[in-house]
Amino acid sequence: MLIAATVAIFIAMLLAIFRGIAGPTLYDRILAVNTFGTKTVLMISLLGFVMGRPEFLDIAIVYALINFISVIGVLRYSDTDQFKHTPPNKKSEEEL
Amino acid sequence: MELLITIVSGLFLLVGSFLCLSGGVGIIRFPDFYTRMHAVGVTDTLGSVMILTGLMMQSSDLLVIAKLIMVLLLILLVGPTTSHVLAKAAFHNGLQPKGLSTENKHNNKESSSSNT
Amino acid sequence: MKHTISLFITLAAFWLLNSGHYSVLILSLGLASIALIIYIANKMDVVDQESQPLYLSRKIFGYYFWLIIEIIKANTTVVKHIWLGKKTISPTLKKIKVTQQTDMGKVIYANSITLTPGTVAIDINEDEILVHALIAEDLDSLEFGEMDRRVTSLEN
């Protein structure tokens, strides 16, 4: 059951990555990165149990913190010009 | 007793992975950014609660359970904060929600421009 | 003073649970870092009612229990609509009145709205929260005011 849950989370992570590549707006990408990070935390905890090494939980805690800080850090710049939502034909989304 | 715990924890893990998978499908399927955010909420809340509770049942070490609770609290505290910040940034930078079913579209445009 | 003590207890529990080693050296290192953090927090002037809301601690657990039930209900609705497809959703944007007086109450209310899947609080000003909902009925139940009433009763 642990392995099944790991596989399910892995598929969900693939779907999130797909949304991150497909876009279409910058915010979709940030959202995809955020949910990818949350799922990574869950996956690290699961893998710790699969491999019988619960020390992985420390890494999961650190990863949860890094994920939070990175998203907040990107959005600190959300009042700059690059984040303005422009119509689809001439948008600038090189950032991520 | 041992068997019962294994079954219940397996059930929790199963429901949790189903919820996470649904969240992933929702991110792909929903039409615009704001609705996708609701799909992420499913993974962030009940999905992780279910998976981490399932893991808690399989462990007998008290420290491991405490760390799992810590991860859970972090996810539950951090999740709404990030989605709110993200939604606010998107809204204030002029990303309008698609397919609104109510009348107050005009109203919101006014308030967004006055707040930026 | 009681806020400092509560901060000390929280930090000590955090250290003890995370380290897992209970030798004298490690424990004294932990004590030193806790003292450092309390000193910095005092200098930053953040040890107060706002960061350590002790007055909530009696009632908050009942509220959490109710909130978990609400989250489970909202999750089933959202998951159902994910699998039913985008024809069945009705995204809505609306302003909701808040009746809380304190900042803490407003934050708890807005955070609870965001934590329940299907509704996200986008913006907040003096007495209104702008909410985006996946399904219009979710907003109706929010306007009905059960959550609002419970958060307001937490305040005092």
Is the confidence at residue C141, as pLDDT, over 80?
Answer: no
The token pair at B112 is 């967004």
**A84 to B14: CB separation less than 8 angstroms, yes or no:** no
Q: What percent of chain B has pLDDT over 90?
A: 3
Name the neighbours of A, counting chains with at least 3 Cβ pairs within 8 A.
B
Stated pTM of the model: 0.81
Searching chain C, which residue's CA lies closest to the CA of residue B78? Answer: C115
**A28 to B17: CB separation less than 8 angstroms, yes or no:** no
pLDDT tens-digit readout, C93-127? 888 888 878 888 888 888 888 888 888 888 888 78
Burial (0-12, 13-18, 19+ Cβ within 10 Å), B2: exposed
**B101 to C132: CB separation less than 8 angstroms, yes or no:** no
* Contact status, residue C117 vs residue C125, Cβ threshold 8 Å: no
List chain B residues with CB under 8 Å of C108.
none
B109 in reach of chain C (CB within 8 A) = no
CA A90 to chain centre: 26
* Contact status, residue C79 vs residue C135, Cβ threshold 8 Å: no
**A41 to B10: CB separation less than 8 angstroms, yes or no:** no
Residue C34 banded pLDDT, cuts 50, 70, 90: very high
**B44 to A16: CB separation less than 8 angstroms, yes or no:** no
pLDDT tens-digit readout, A44-57? 999 988 888 878 88
C16 in reach of chain B (CB within 8 A) = no
Q: How far is CA A42 from CA A3, A25, A56, in A?
A: 13, 26, 11
Give me the pLDDT at residue B45, please.
Answer: 82
The C-alpha atoms of residue B22 and residue B13 are separated, in whole angstroms, by: 14
Average pLDDT, chain C: 83
Searching chain A, which residue's CA lies closest to the CA of residue B51? Answer: A42
Complex ipTM, two decimals? 0.79
The C-alpha atoms of residue A59 and residue A40 are separated, in whole angstroms, by: 11
Searching chain A, which residue's CA lies closest to the CA of residue B87? Answer: A27
Sequence-distant (6+) residues with CB within 8 A of A95 are: A26, A82
Mean pLDDT score, C63-90: 84
Secondary structure of residue C92 in the 3-state scheme: strand
A-B contacts (CB, under 8 Å) = 141
Q: Which residue has the higher pLDDT, B73 or B1?
A: B73
If you search the block for the tokens 């948008």, which residue do you land on? A91
Longest dimension (CA), chain C: 63
Residue A24: is the preceding peptide bond cis (ω within 30°)? Answer: yes
Smallest Cβ distance to C79: which of B19, B87, B97?
A: B19
* Contact status, residue B81 vs residue B41, Cβ threshold 8 Å: no
User: Residue A45: how many CA atoms within 13 Å on its side-chain side?
Assistant: 34
**C91 to B98: CB separation less than 8 angstroms, yes or no:** yes
